[in-house]
Amino acid sequence: MNRLSIELPGLSLKNPIMPASGCFGFGKEYGQLYDLSLLGAIMIKSTTLEMRLGNPTPRVAETASGMLNAIGLQNPGLKGVLEGELPWLEQFDVPIIANVAGTETADYVEVAKMISQAPNVKALELNISCPNVKCGGITFGTDPEIAKELTRAVKEVSSVPVYVKLSPNVTTIVEIAQAVEAGGADGITMINTLIGMRLDQKTGRPVIANGTGGLSGPAVKPVAIRMVYEVSKAVNIPIIGMGGVTEVADIIDFMSAGASAVAVGTANFVNPFVCPQIIEQLPAKLDELGINHISELIGRSHRL
């Protein structure tokens, strides 16, 4: 019996660990370092209809136990991803979750329709939460009504289940979660980055060219855990949790809070082998906790 397997809409995961969107490109670079078939799934970089060149540099800044980024959704565009990136990933035994972004509903719909037909794309992750683009992105993620309508429009055209990626930059995240559930979302992924800013000591000006950036890394984990906890109590669709994961203990926390699977972002930059290492360490961790199958962890925090 595989103690780590998890079944989610569209996704048969051999283990619940996957790299988060934007922190793993389209797999090629980390594929030089280890066998990508070890992973539960791969969330690829956000894909937009047209190629995007992203924001000016500097695009990243280090902060206390974290980092800010304002990449600006740089990607080769739908055609580039379909022709140049996804076919290469077919050699691996790993489901791909395609992250879809846009500036208006029509873009999202077009990208979702086409990319969901790629043979190895088993689910979509709708990015309604990118803080780093001028229009679209986060505006879809902060208004429940708009989030619901977008989810519905994408569900209509997608050939695979649709997960919606939530922004933590809202007053009540539960409201948005319930809205996308009502719009027909098959699952939720959370959290995207928290909007932040770092200033240069000498000039007093923002370090990141874009001014603000999205905060990620260990610093955001408590916020992410709280939000997964709240949302998992309020919806009946599964959650893929993320935010600040660096080690196996963090997986236990996210799943206990209510996540069914966990994504790892920033930690890949610090330790490129973090995903396979966590996967390898999970069985011993389950033994230590006296747990037979990893699914027993899901939502432990809610039980009396």
Partner 1 sequence: MIIQDRMTVTSQQQIAHNIFEMKLNGKLVGEITSPGQFVHIRVSDSFEPLLRRPISIASIDQDAGEMTIIYRAEGRGTTILSQRRAGDEVDVLGPLGNGFPVEETATGETAILIGGGIGVPPLYELSKQLTAKGVKCTHVLGFQSKDAVFYEEEFSKLGETHIVTVDGSRGTAGFVTTVMEELGNEFSTYYSCGPMPMLEAIEKMYAGKKGFLSFEQRMGCGIGACFACVCQTTEGSEKAYIKVCSDGPVFPAGVVAI
Ligand X SMILES: Cc1cc2nc3c(=O)[nH]c(=O)nc-3n(C[C@H](O)[C@H](O)[C@H](O)COP(=O)(O)O)c2cc1C
To ligand X, the closest distance from the beta carbon of 176 in angstroms equals 15
Which residue in the set 14, 59, 148, 155 belongs to the binding site for partner 1 (CB under 8 A)? 59
* Residue 77 in contact with partner 1, rule: CB under 8 A: no
Q: How far is CA 291 from CA 14, 245, 254, 258, 301, in A?
A: 17, 21, 16, 16, 15
What is the C-alpha separation between 128 and 4, in angstroms, rounded?
30
* Residue 12 in contact with partner 1, rule: CB under 8 A: no
* Residue 232 in contact with ligand X, rule: CB under 6 A: no
Contact segment (CB under 8 A) with partner 1 among 58-66, 103-111, 169-177, 185-193 equals 58-66
* Residue 158 in contact with ligand X, rule: CB under 6 A: no
Output the DSSP codes for the chain. Answer: --TT-EEETTEEESSSEEEPTTSSTTSHHHHTTS-GGGSS-EEPPPB-SS-B--PPSP-EEEETTEEEE-----B-HHHHIIIIIHHHHTTSS--EEEEE--SSHHHHHHHHHHHTTSTTEEEEEEE---TTSSSSTHHHHH-HHHHHHHHHHHHHH-SS-EEEEPPS-SS-HHHHHHHHHHTT-SEEEE--PEEE--B-TTT-SBSSTTS-EEEESGGGHHHHHHHHHHHHHH-SS-EEEESS--SHHHHHHHHHHT-SEEEE-THHHH-TTHHHHHHHHHHHHHHHHT-SSGGGGTTGGG--
To partner 1, the closest distance from the beta carbon of 246 in angstroms equals 6
* Residue 60 in contact with partner 1, rule: CB under 8 A: yes
* Residue 165 in contact with ligand X, rule: CB under 6 A: yes
- In the set 23, 130, 135, 275, the catalytic residue is 130
- Comparing CB distances to partner 1, the nearer of 26 and 163 is 26
For the question of residue 135 being annotated catalytic, the response is no
Binders of ligand X in range 96-125 (CB under 6 A): 99
What is the C-alpha separation between 106 and 97, in angstroms, rounded?
20
Which residue in the set 13, 27, 40, 46 belongs to the binding site for ligand X (CB under 6 A)? 46
Binders of partner 1 in range 163-222 (CB under 8 A): 217-218
C-alpha radius of gyration, the chain, whole number: 18
Task: List the x/- string, 240-269, binding to ligand X by CB under 6 A.
Answer: --xxxx------------------xxxx--
- Comparing CB distances to partner 1, the nearer of 70 and 177 is 70
To partner 1, the closest distance from the beta carbon of 278 in angstroms equals 15
* Residue 24 in contact with partner 1, rule: CB under 8 A: yes
Which residue in the set 48, 181, 268, 278 belongs to the binding site for partner 1 (CB under 8 A)? 268
Strand duo 66-69 + 213-216: pairing = antiparallel
Binders of partner 1 in range 82-121 (CB under 8 A): none
What is the C-alpha separation between 215 and 196, in angstroms, rounded?
6
Which residue in the set 37, 65, 91, 172 belongs to the binding site for partner 1 (CB under 8 A)? 65
Query: What residues make contact with partner 1 under the rule CB under 8 A?
Result: 22-25, 28-30, 32-33, 45, 51, 53-54, 57-67, 69, 71, 74, 217-218, 246, 266, 268-273
Query: What residues make contact with ligand X under the rule CB under 6 A?
Result: 20-23, 45-46, 69, 71, 73, 99, 127, 130, 165, 192-193, 216-217, 220, 242-245, 264-267
User: Any idea which residues carry the catalytic annotation?
Assistant: 130
